[in-house]
Amino acid sequence: MAMQQLALTPAKLYDGLDTGFYAFTCHLPLPEELSLRVLDCQPFDQLAARLPPVEFAQLLREGSFRQTSGVFATYVGTDELPLCYHWHPPWLLVLASGEYQPARYKIYLEGGWQTSFLAPLPVSAAGSKSPTTPRRRPPLVRLMDWLLN
């Protein structure tokens, strides 16, 4: 099945301090209720390895996403914030999130797509761990989860 873009209007979900950024959760009105935390998102760059090239090109075109140049090249969205994605089968949601100014954080919903398949990450993209091994959360994320719960 080819990817289909959802009728989600891109929107600013959060604009505030870092404490609210790390605790932010939203519920999206998809055909099923979906709860989303920005800390659970994956780097957008990994999608190139998980989607067929034609679907990844479609995603870039329909979302108007672009890749920056330079040593730390990444894909960016609204306000030049780095992109990340959340996949809750069959929904693929793309967010732009991060620090916009010192101590000011933003989260944007860039769009959503319905897709039936994302390939597991190849070992080279996921590190030395097996694709079936759950991804360990970075220390800062674990600390923030501990502080917020």
Decide: residue 21, CB within 10 A, 0-12 exposed, 13-18 middle, 19+ buried: buried
Q: What is the pLDDT along the chain (149 residues), one digit of tens a residue?
A: 578 888 888 899 999 998 888 888 888 877 777 788 888 899 999 988 888 888 899 999 999 999 988 888 889 999 999 999 998 888 899 999 999 999 899 999 999 998 877 777 665 544 544 444 445 666 666 676 777 76
**Residues 46, 90 contacting (CB under 8 angstroms):** no
Q: How many CA atoms lie within 13 A of 84 on its CB side?
A: 15
CA distance 86 to 78: 17
CA geometry: angle at 142 spanning 146 and 28, to 5°?
A: 90
Q: Where are the domains of the chain?
A: 4-118+133-148
